[in-house]
A and B are shown apart, each in its own frame.
Chain A
Amino acid sequence: MNQISLHNTLPLVFAQRSDNTSELWLQNVSFERGHLYLIEAASGTGKSSLCAYLTGYRRDYSGAITFDGRDIRDLHNFEWTGIRRRSLSLMFQELRLFPELTAWENVEIKNQLTRHKSEAELTAWFEALGIDEKRNTRLGLMSFGQQQRVALIRALCQPFDFLLADEPVSHLDQENSQVMGEVMMQEAQRQGAAVIITSIGHHMELPYERVFKL
């Protein structure tokens, strides 16, 4: 997948609003593979909605969203499964991890599916992000900041053209978010993928090529 485009897209809940100042809603905007984007949003501007639309679990918008020119409303279930497994990786704001499993199992459940990373590579990430000693801890017992790092590793252990990270460092300090940014960009560049990061304030210091205000 090389391009994600929004064509006059607007969440249905915003249909009554007249004061649209968004640089994404009701615009024609494209995200290209290989680039780095930041979407800055205030609360209630539809950031979570945008992520839900792009991941295919909500459709309550007007206008169109296309992947390589194909309207995503027309995608079949099996196509979504393929896209989520091979083209579009997501790091959710609410993480969507499994609290019953350990940190390692949370990553493993994805890596078993994609068989993308070796155990050594995963271990290296756990070490780099400072959560290696927590790998056998049940996720439910970890802090949100630690969970965010597990979520990042899970998002990275698959092939992708686009990585969509929804507020990835909201609960991390400057130093940890810096390390996370490095790990993320390293893998994205290795795969030649685009990274789209959203933020409502605190965000990683990265050389963004384009910043949208939502």
Chain B
Amino acid sequence: MKLLWKLLRQHVSIGQLAGFFLANLLGMLIVLLSLQFYEDVVPAFSGEDGVIKNTYVILSKRIAAVSALRGEAQTFSESDISDLSQQPFVRKVGVFTASQYQVYASLSTGGIGMGTDMFFESVPDDFVDIKWPASATSHDAGQMSEVPIILPRTYLALYNFGFAQTKNLPKLSEGVVSMIPMDIRLRGEAGKEMRLKGRVVGFSTRLNTVLVPESFMQRTNADLAPSASAAPTRLIVEVKNPADDAIASYVQERGYELENNSLEAGRATYFLKITAAIVMAVGLLISALSFYILMLSVFLLVQKNAEKLQNLLLIGYSRARVALPYQLLTIGLNAAVLLLAIAVLFWVRDWYLHRLWQMFPALSEGSVNSTLLIGLALFCLVSFLNALAIRRKITSISRPR
């Protein structure tokens, strides 16, 4: 083998092989990096453990001018809800129940009194991101002396930074707000009325409404407005993966509206996917071109050494044996490229993971196994094709005339 290599390494061009090495390294690195980056970053945008944990979306029917004027109901029917529940991306569906009676809330502290007409809504308790006080869920509405209320966090911000700022009113913290007692008057059908106290128990970022416990709502609706039917106008849906494209297309198709930008993450993931795919394609293209460079270089080498190869065959060397040094050369180069690419990959990954952790401390790193496996597969494929091409080239120069 030593002698054979001494003979066959004649005309080996270091420049060409270095060119191949760099090009292949670049291609391999781009492929592996795009894969690994995708693997590491996509979980941040999707999945339950992701940085963006928004697995709830709120649906309403689109309010079109015409239907609003006609007085058509913007409510969800039973079949709408059951159809939605059966969609594969849905984990569970909750209904917003609106109060069917009038609500008047007033507060009086230190001599200042103010009051407003308002409304209540409720959703099933397990959709609420704030825990109700234990007493609220078990109480009988009739005896309930104080109703717990959850306000949207945005309301407080709106008051503090908009209203209070311009009217020179004191700014309120969450704690202060929950200490203010409210007087609430509910007025239903046929003059039925109920008076009770209210207290804000929390601020929700998920639900953009004035919330009361589901059990309270059912009781009060039944007591105060027994004849009114409460078809839901909004639904809260827990989805398996907010990055699922199917959600957006379903919503579009049914003419529903998504309340907040809860699908933003889905779009970000989609773009990330496309970007990763494009980058990977570029990497593969560079790999393919580098493969081509190597093949040209080896073919040139074989052609230049054609006479030697022929002579070796004539003194009894087999084609496999004379092809072997060139095959080992290319496989060795490919292996060096793979190892170096993996080393650089880990280095670069270390760098970007640190940056990502600064932004998303909760981000868990993805697995490197699939990237390594794909790198290995690429190495095997390229080496196999190299070896095959070399064997064929040697066969072609040794074919009898």
Contacts and interface: CB of A to CB of B under 8 A. Distances in A.
Contact of B311 (A81, A96, A113): A96
Given A58-B400, A59-B400, A98-B311, A108 B316 contact: no
Interface stretch (B1-9, B105-113, B148-156, B339-347): B1-9
A134 interface: no
A36 to B, nearest CB: 23
Contacts of B6: 100-101, 105
B134 interface: no
B308 A113 contact: no
A81 B317 contact: yes
A58 B3 contact: no
Contact of B314 (A57, A86, A98, A158): A57
Interface in A89-143: 90, 92, 96-98, 100-101, 105, 108-110, 112-114
Interface string A30-61: 00000000000000000000000001111110
B315 interface: yes
A114 B316 contact: yes
Contacts of B167: none
A7 interface: no
A158 B311 contact: no
A77 B310 contact: no
B310 A57 contact: yes
B397 to A, nearest CB: 11
Contacts of A154: 315
A93 to B, nearest CB: 13
Contacts of B395: 77
Interface in B301-326: 308, 310-319
Given A56-B400, A59-B400, A100 B316 contact: no
Interface in B3-30: 3-4, 6-7, 10
A58 B401 contact: yes
Contact of B4 (A55, A78, A86, A109): A109
B5 to A, nearest CB: 11
A202 interface: no
A158 B318 contact: no
Contacts, number: 61
A147 to B, nearest CB: 13
Contact of A84 (B3, B7, B308, B316): B316
A112 B308 CA distance: 17
Given A55-B314, A77-B319, A96-B311, A108 B3 contact: yes
A17 to B, nearest CB: 21
B3 A112 contact: yes
A98 B316 contact: no
Contacts of B398: 57, 77
A113 B401 contact: no
B8 to A, nearest CB: 10
A109 to B, nearest CB: 5
Contacts of B311: 96-98
Given A60-B401, A105-B3, A100 B314 contact: no
B394 to A, nearest CB: 11
A171 interface: no
A79 to B, nearest CB: 11
A113 B314 contact: no
B318 to A, nearest CB: 5
Contacts of B10: 100
A58 B315 CA distance: 15
B177 to A, nearest CB: 91
A109 B3 contact: yes
B240 to A, nearest CB: 60
B310 A109 contact: no
Contacts of A110: 315-316
Contacts of A109: 3-4, 7, 312, 315
Nearest to B4: A109
A56 B310 CA distance: 11
A57 B318 contact: no
A57 B317 contact: no
A85 B313 CA distance: 10
A105 B398 CA distance: 23
Contacts of B312: 109
B329 to A, nearest CB: 17
Interface in B208-229: none
A78 B310 contact: no
Interface string B358-401: 00000000000000000000000000000000000001001011
B316 A85 contact: yes
B399 to A, nearest CB: 9
Which among B310, B316, B317 has the highest number of chain A CB atoms within 10 Å? Answer: B316
Contacts of B7: 98, 100-101, 109
Contacts of A92: 314
B400 A158 contact: no
6 contacts: A98-B308, A105-B6, A109-B312, A109-B315, A113-B315, A154-B315
Given A77-B318, A114-B316, 6 more contacts: A81-B317, A81-B318, A84-B315, A90-B315, A98-B7, A110-B315
Interface of A: 55-60, 77-78, 81, 84-86, 90, 92, 96-98, 100-101, 105, 108-110, 112-114, 154, 158
When A and B form their complex, which 5 residue pairs have the shortest distance between CB atoms, in order from nearest?
A85-B316, A84-B316, A96-B311, A81-B318, A109-B3
